[in-house]
Amino acid sequence: MAQQQGAYYVPHGSKWPIVGAVGMFAFMWGAAHWINGNELEGHISIAIGAAIILTMLFGWFGTVIRESNGGTYNKQVDLSFRLGMMWFIFSEVMFFAAFFGALFYTRGLSVPWLGGEGHGAITNYYLWRGYTAAWPTNGPLDIGGAFHTIPAWGVPLLNTLILLSSGVTITVAHHALKAGYRKQLLVFLGFTILLGVSFLWFQAHEYIEAYTHLNLTLHSGIYGSTFFMLTGFHGLHVTLGTIMLIVIWLRCAKGDFSKDSHFGFEAVAWYWHFVDIVWVMLFLFVYVL
Amino acid sequence: MATHAATHDDHDAKPSFAQRWLFTTNHKDIGTLYLVFSLIMFFIGGSMAMIIRAELFEPGLQLVQPYFFNEMTTMHALVMIFGAVMPAFVGLANWMIPLMVGAPDMALPRLNNWSFWILPFAFVLLLSTLFMPGGAPAAGWVMYPPLVLQSGESLAFTIFAIHLMGISSIMGAINIIATILNLRAPGMDLLKMPLFVWTWLITAFLLIAVMPVLAGAVTMLLTDKFFGTSFFNAAGGGDPLLYQHIFWFFGHPEVYIMILPAFGIISEIIPTFSRKPLFGYKPMVYATASIAFLSFIVWAHHMFTVGLPLGGLLFFMYATMLISVPTGVKVFNWVTTMWKGSITFETPMLFAVAFVILFTIGGFSGVMLALVPADFQYHNTYFVVAHFHYVLVSGAVFAIMAAVYYWIPKWTGHMYSERWGRIHFWNSVIAVNVLFFPQHFLGLAGMPRRIPDYNVAFADWNMVSSIGGFWFGLSQLIFVGNIVYTVYFARQKASARVWEGARGLEWTVPSPAPHHTFEVPPVIMPGMLAHDDVSH
């Protein structure tokens, strides 16, 4: 696949982008139907959409991996991929920022206003008399009923340690990859996957505990809303990250990556560190403080 | 010419129609797809505006039911913002940025195709709500709770459509940043890039920063309505104003997303037809960056009347007025570029000059709205409608039209009809003022926005405004006619440089631009770039 020295690389056309767009449409169409109570149409359309999206992911990544292994890409393409991944992670950061913003705004401003602080005094007197601001809260009308929160120094602390360790193990794996220690690479990447899975296992355990024993649910007013949406979206990202790690492990086992060309590995590592940092923020602002 | 890598030899074989347009990785084809899509959406959104103006032609309810009227105002905004203006700028970016920086294509061409093809599907989702029980969303494009949570089946469809549009915008923006940072030809330093490239670089940053925030806001609406959360429910400890804060944290940078590329276009056109380099190139770049920075700290000026603390009102008022400084720099530089230039007024220049004047009027009414005590009076009146239509129609849309006239000879290899271009311009520029200028009076007299019926005191100016509206709408048929003429029928060939005063790499390739350009990085010669002597 010789390329003229200094020439740019432009990939050939591909059916996967439009296949992906069709899949996303079917998925969203189904999701909207399902949410509106048309269960059957919804489920069918969601399933079709998900199947198309999965096919697209396999097909598209497969093409890219084949092209990459065939030596089609040059340093410039590599940098484009890097820029793409960096800015994608930045967009993810901003998505979480919206939910953190909701948490800080309600905790810092609107809940105290409901309790009568500042210009909220009259509202509090006429609408929510007797409500005193506190955190955690499910609001003046006690939406969802009394609940307990999950203590920070139990499972959440454990999960913090798990994710921080996984950050270490993936870094060790990366060094092993760069040094060419194949066995060490597979072992430490394997550790990272196990840590990711155990994080998810503990998180699921924590959710079950919250729903069955603590009466802490998505319905538990603003505390339940921010708690579950933040930790839930984070958990979703850990799930995606774990799947990505498994794919990367398989590719490492196949010997897809070389010492100096393994952007796929690095992209997953960046993503994993991002998920890690979001968790540290969550631990601090959702559980500890 | 480079020898192609074996993997993309199929470019040279004639691809089938579907292969060419559905599977394309070519920035020019994708740019064309974006522009055509945007034009279709412009007419769909425009017909909704015609319905609005027809109903407002006279006081009383004549044509439509009030709820349908609200659907029209909501959908008109969503279609125009996400379907017409933003895709038009992305289409222009696709066509021109690789040509301007000497790149063979966008950095991530397949992602580029994906960004585009998500859009038509997103709009199928959105527009399908018009035919649903309960109708389309009708709570305004801002979708404030609690009102929007009373929508029927449309809410979920609208939210998912917005998610798709956001994904499309974010991927498009990532692509633009990667292209500009990674694919510039040797010698095309950052501070030698054309202004259109600079403004798009900054716009792309804004897009990546705020589209996810909008996704977050509408996701909270979704969970509040369907999954029992209390983000915007005071009884559960939430706050409906929280939505407005998050929405406008997206919404204000969004306003600049729709105007910064327009600034870039105007900064390309005015020097060309003034036959002078742009006055103050670096200040233009810095002004763009300042506007982008300020756009993150002014959002609550959309919320002056909701009961913010006094300190908040003062901060957001002063921060907002600060924006007039970098914007003033821009207007000053455009005018100074024209000063003592040997100006000719071809259609792109006519639109560009109209842009400078009319956008500035929109800027002035913006400063008026930024004043807290004054805004208490103007808020939610037609004055606001007049303000943002001056900056969006005679601002963003005029810039897009200027860009189409300016670059269509490069795209098609043929000159558009100058005569009909001028007829289109004069009709548009007069009609847009007949349409929107009276709305200032209506607003100052107290006519509220988003109502299908009004006090008879407002009758005269509404009729004038509606006449202007129909006139403006019909004038756009000339635009379409001229485009169709240029693409299919025009005889007059365009030269590579097209315009006597044009500078930059895009004018060094033949017209029409070949399917593949700059397959090897171009060697930049002295005098090729518009801004190659900026350092002294």
pLDDT tens for A268-283 read 999 999 999 999 999 9
Let me know if B330 is a catalytic residue.
Answer: yes
- Specify the range with the lowest mean pLDDT, choosing from A59-73, A152-166, B170-184, B208-222: A59-73
What region, left, alpha or beta, does residue B436 occupy, with left being phi > 0 and alpha being psi -120 to 50 degrees? alpha
Report the alpha-carbon angle B194-B199-B205, nearest 5. Answer: 130
Does the pLDDT at position B402 exceed 60? Answer: yes
What lies within 8 Å, CB to CB, of B234 at 6+ separation is A110, A114, A127, A128, A139, A140, B240
Closest CA to A162 of A205, A186, A192, A207: A192
Closest CA to B464 of B7, B5, B53, B175: B53
Residues on chain B touching A95 (C-beta within 8 angstroms) = 212-213, 215-216
Distance from CA of A156 to the nearest CA of B (A): 23
Do B5 and A1 count as a contact with CB atoms less than 8 A apart?
Answer: yes
Between B281-294 and B260-274, two packed helices, what is the crossing angle to 10 degrees? 160
**Are the beta carbons of A26 and A49 closer than 8 angstroms?**
yes
Interface of A with B in 67-86 (CB under 8 A): 67, 72, 76, 79-81, 83-84
Does the pLDDT at position B339 exceed 60? Answer: yes
What region, left, alpha or beta, does residue B513 occupy, with left being phi > 0 and alpha being psi -120 to 50 degrees? beta
pLDDT tens figures, B82-114: 999 999 999 999 999 999 999 999 999 999 999
Does the pLDDT at position B9 exceed 60? Answer: no
Closest CA to A76 of A249, A263, A265: A263
Do A91 and B208 count as a contact with CB atoms less than 8 A apart?
Answer: yes
Alpha carbons B456 and B462: distance in angstroms, whole number = 10
Alpha carbons B300 and B307: distance in angstroms, whole number = 11
**Are the beta carbons of B199 and B288 closer than 8 angstroms?**
yes
Q: Nearest chain A residue to B226 by CA: give it.
A: A35
Alpha carbons A4 and B226: distance in angstroms, whole number = 57
Does the pLDDT at position A6 exceed 80? Answer: no
At residue A246, the pLDDT reads: 97
**Of B184, B301, B387, B410, which is the active-site residue?**
B301
Average pLDDT of the segment spanning B197-215 = 98
pLDDT tens figures, B434-470: 999 999 999 999 999 999 999 999 999 999 999 999 9
Average pLDDT of the segment spanning A180-207 = 97
Cα–Cα distance list, A128 to A124, A132, A222, B88, B415 (Å): 5, 9, 16, 49, 68
For an interface test with A, give the residue of B99, B110, B254 to mutate (most A CBs within 10 A): B110
Alpha carbons A93 and B192: distance in angstroms, whole number = 31
For an interface test with A, give the residue of B1, B3, B4, B7 to mutate (most A CBs within 10 A): B7
Which of the four pLDDT bands, split at 50, 70 and 90, describes residue B5?
A: very low
Does the pLDDT at position A231 exceed 60? Answer: yes
Q: Nearest chain A residue to B103 by CA: give it.
A: A8
Nearest to B237 among A10, A101, A106 (CB): A106
**Are the beta carbons of B51 and B72 closer than 8 angstroms?**
yes
At residue B20, the pLDDT reads: 87
Let me know if B453 is a catalytic residue.
Answer: no
At residue B12, the pLDDT reads: 53
Distance from the Cα of residue B110 to its chain's centroid: 24
Helix intervals (H) in B183-276? 195-226, 240-257, 260-274
Do A11 and B114 count as a contact with CB atoms less than 8 A apart?
Answer: no
At residue A225, the pLDDT reads: 97
Q: Pull the structure tokens for residue B85.
A: 């203006």
- Three-state SS at B30: helix
Average pLDDT of the segment spanning A16-20 = 95
Alpha carbons B483 and B485: distance in angstroms, whole number = 5
At residue B533, the pLDDT reads: 58
Average pLDDT of the segment spanning A210-222 = 96
Which of the four pLDDT bands, split at 50, 70 and 90, describes residue B13?
A: low
Alpha carbons B531 and B536: distance in angstroms, whole number = 11
% chain A with pLDDT above 90: 88
Alpha carbons B88 and B116: distance in angstroms, whole number = 11
Neighbours of A116 (CB within 10 A): 18
Alpha carbons A65 and A71: distance in angstroms, whole number = 10
- Three-state SS at B239: coil
What region, left, alpha or beta, does residue A144 occupy, with left being phi > 0 and alpha being psi -120 to 50 degrees? left
Does the pLDDT at position A4 exceed 60? Answer: no
Average pLDDT of the segment spanning B466-479 = 98
Let me know if B38 is a catalytic residue.
Answer: no
Mean pLDDT of chain B: 94
Alpha carbons A147 and B28: distance in angstroms, whole number = 58
Q: Pull the structure tokens for residue B291.
A: 């506007």
Q: What would the DSSP string read from start to end of A63-96? A: HHHHHHHTT---HHHHHHHHHHHHHHHHHHHHHH
Q: Which residues in B133-157 are b (16+ Cβ under 10 Å) and which e?
A: ebbbbbbbbbbbbeebbebebbbbb
Does the pLDDT at position A29 exceed 60? Answer: yes
pLDDT tens figures, A96-143: 999 999 999 999 999 999 999 988 899 899 999 999 999 999 999 999
At residue A190, the pLDDT reads: 97
Average pLDDT of the segment spanning B300-307 = 95
Average pLDDT of the segment spanning A156-182 = 96
Burial class (CB in 10 A: 0-12, 13-18, 19+), B392: buried
The DSSP bridge partners found for residue B381 are B448
Alpha carbons B203 and B288: distance in angstroms, whole number = 9
Q: pTM here?
A: 0.95
At residue A89, the pLDDT reads: 98
Does the pLDDT at position A2 exceed 70? Answer: no
Closest CA to B257 of B295, B290, B229: B295
